[in-house]
Amino acid sequence: MDLEKRLPQPAPATAEESGSLRASDADRDRIADILREAVAEGRLTAEEHAERVEGVYRAKTLGELEPLIADLPAAHGETAGPSSGYAPAPGRPSPGAVPAVADENLVAVLSGSVRKGRWRVARRTHAYAVFGSVEIDLSEAIFEQRQVVIKAVAIFGSVEIRVPENVSLRGSGAGVLGNFEVDTLDSAEQDAPVVFVDGTAIFGNVEARPKRGKLIRDLHRKVRGHLGH
C-alpha cells in the first residue's frame, strides 16, 4: 500500500480554528480600509466608525476582526482571512525592504495625540484622528531604517506630519470632502531616510511637510550606523 495513503491526512481547518489565527498588520489595514470606505459611503456614522477602528487596533486574532465588518457589503466579497501579502500603495516601499521593528499606533478619538521630541521612529506608524488631532513631529526623531511608512486617516479631524528638511518625503492618498496634502521633498543625501505618507481625509485634513530649519545632523553616519546593528 502506498505510504502516503496509509498516513493520516490533516483535517481542513474549521472556521473556528481559522478565526483563532493571529491577525497581521495587513489584516488590520484591510479591515480599517473597509471601515473607512463604509463611513465615506454613509453606511456608518463617525461615532460607529471610531468605535470599530479602536476595535481593529485592539484585535489580536482574525476572529476578533470579522465581526467589525460583518454587516457591511464588503465583508461578503472579501472576508477577513489569512493574508498572503498585500500590494503596496503607489510610492510605498515593499514590505521586505523595511526592517522589522515594532509598529506604532496613534489614535485620537475626540482627543489629541502628539508624538515629538527624541523618539525612535517605527517601521510603520498608524495615525487615526476621529473628531480629534494627531501630530507627528519627526524633526528630532531617531531613524533606525531608511524607509518609514505613515498610514494616516482623518475623519472630522486632522493628522499633521512634520519632517526634517534633509529627508525625502513622498505621499499617496485622497481627500473625501477633505484635504490630503504632502509636500514632496527630495534629500540631497543618498542615504537619507524616506518617509511615505499613505492616507485619506474624510471631512478632515491630512498634511505632511518639512519643518523649516530642522535637520538631522550627521545624517549619513547615524543612519548607516543604526542599520549596521
d(CA 44, CA 72): 9
Model's pTM, two decimal places?
0.62
Same domain, 93 and 80: no
Dump pLDDT digits (tens) for 126-172: 999 999 999 999 999 998 888 889 999 999 999 999 999 888 898 88
Dump pLDDT digits (tens) for 49-77: 777 877 887 788 999 999 999 999 887 76
Dump pLDDT digits (tens) for 1-37: 454 444 445 445 454 555 688 988 788 888 888 887 8
Cβ proximity of 128 and 107 under 8 Å: yes
Same domain, 145 and 201: yes
For 71, how many CA atoms within 13 A lie in the half-sphere containing its CB? 7
How many domains does one find in the chain?
Answer: 2
Indicate the average pLDDT of the chain.
Answer: 77
Percent of the chain whose pLDDT exceeds 90: 29
Domain that holds residue 35: 1-86
* Residue 40 clears pLDDT 70, i.e. is over it: yes
Determine the average pLDDT of the residues in 172-199: 88
Same domain, 123 and 222: yes
Same domain, 101 and 195: yes
Same domain, 116 and 204: yes
Grid coordinates given for 68:
467589525
